[in-house]
Amino acid sequence: MISMNLNDKKKIAVIGAGYMAEEHIRAFSDIADVVVAGIFSRTRIKAENIANKFSIEHVCDSIDELFVTTQAQLVIIAVPELEVWGVCSNAFKYSWISLIEKPAGYNFVDAQEIAIAAKKFGHTAYVALNRRHYASTRTVLRELKGVDGKRLIHVYDQENPVVALESGTPSEIVKNWMYANSIHVIDYFKTLGRGDITSVEPIIHWDPETPCFVMAKINYSSGDIGIYEAIWNGPGPWAVTVTTQQKRFELRPLEQASVQLYKSRNLEKLQAHPWDSQFKPGLRLQAEEAVKALRHQQTLLPTLDEALESMKLVSSIYEI
């Protein structure tokens, strides 16, 4: 076996020391030719704790120091929503590629400003929309290949902003909760639908004063149709269905794909990948795709501009 020198490995840096930062580190640390070289957080003690846990060599006191010290090729940005723009504006100055934890902006305007900053510096940035990398999602997409005809994509959303506010989530984030949380399921429209979204037709309009039900129809240039249905401050699932005339797929929970064939009443589970039980679902494949980007290979990672399309879709559905 050929030993691998540390200098041969792809170097990863991390900004942030919360739950998602640690989950990203776990995923990247499992890849043989990758080393997490450094971490920076405004709360140094949290960064030191994670560094000790994962044997990260450098704990830095600024983004500038993080880049200079590690010479990392990729930086993971996993900070609270209200801090993303400021962190990105600094990190985008450097030559590393960015992988930004979702949402890349606490609302559509903020997301646009982040995309403008990336263009200003000519910076390559991707967004960690990890549900695109669920084994369940990838399985459904593979099963749909060769299935002719239109698709009906139905996304069920359920949100508890009251609970979020009570748990200490900043009021500005709760005010924009459809971007902070609904983006997780609304992004399925961009993943499963074909062609461009040509129009969005609100059916049950969003009422910020008395949030309850929201429904919208999404039309695609391919002829596919999307239906978004959300329940706010009430019971309901996160679920996705894709219906064709030959097969119907269901993601409920989102991590589990099932299929029902025409003329059958049975819903059969499709096999999952062990990565999605060993790691936070989607993150291990997502890390592999990030390394592909570092090698200048084709990658499944959504670019910042692609993620901005989903933020725009949120804006269109909620008419804000």
**pTM score, two decimals?**
0.94
Chain segment 113-169, per-residue pLDDT in tens:
999 999 999 999 999 999 999 999 999 999 999 899 999 999 999 999 999 999 999
pLDDT the model gives residue 7:
56
How far is Cα 39 from Cα 48, in angstroms, rounded to an integer? 8
pLDDT the model gives residue 1:
32
Which own/partner contact pairs does 173-178 have at CB distance under 8 Å and 24+ positions apart? 173/81, 173/82, 173/106, 176/106, 176/107, 178/206, 178/314, 178/317, 178/318, 178/320
User: What are the residue boundaries of the structural domains of the chain, listed by start?
Assistant: 6-130, 132-262+304-318
Q: What percent helix, strand, coil does the chain show, rounded to 5? A: 40, 25, 35
Nearest to 267 by CA among 277, 279, 253, 257: 257
- Considering the chain, what percentage of its residues have pLDDT values greater than 90? 97
Task: Output the CA torsion sign for 123, 16, 305, 289.
Answer: positive
Alpha helix (H) residue ranges in the chain? 19-29, 44-54, 63-70, 84-91, 108-121, 135-144, 161-166, 171-175, 177, 183-186, 188-192, 275-278, 283-294, 304-318
Is the pLDDT at 263 greater than 60, yes or no?
yes
User: Looking at the chain, how many residues does it have?
Assistant: 320
Per CATH, 6-130 and 132-262+304-318 having the same topology is answered no
How far is Cα 182 from Cα 310, in angstroms, rounded to an integer? 10
How far is Cα 316 from Cα 299, in angstroms, rounded to an integer? 28
Is the pLDDT at 103 greater than 50, yes or no?
yes
Chain segment 12-30, per-residue pLDDT in tens:
999 999 999 999 999 999 9
Chain segment 1-16, per-residue pLDDT in tens:
333 444 579 999 999 9
Q: State the chain's mean pLDDT as an integer.
A: 96
Residue 166 half-sphere exposure, CB side, CA atoms within 13 Å? 5
pLDDT the model gives residue 4:
42
Buried b (16+ CB within 10 A) or exposed e, 257-282: bbbbeeeeeeeeebebbebbeebbbb
pLDDT the model gives residue 8:
75
pLDDT the model gives residue 146:
87
* Span of 2-16, 18-32, 255-269, 280-294 with lowest mean pLDDT: 2-16
Question: At residue 52, what are phi and psi to the nearest 5 degrees?
Answer: -65, -40
Is the pLDDT at 204 greater than 50, yes or no?
yes
How far is Cα 84 from Cα 172, in angstroms, rounded to an integer? 14
In the CATH scheme, what is the homologous superfamily, with its name and number, of domain 132-262+304-318? Dihydrodipicolinate Reductase; domain 2 (3.30.360.10)
Class of CATH domain 6-130? alpha beta
pLDDT the model gives residue 170:
97
Question: At residue 176, what are phi and psi to the nearest 5 degrees?
Answer: -110, 35
Instruction: Name beta bridge partners: 215.
Output: 204, 229
Q: What six digits make up the tokens of 283? A: 């993150």
pLDDT the model gives residue 3:
39
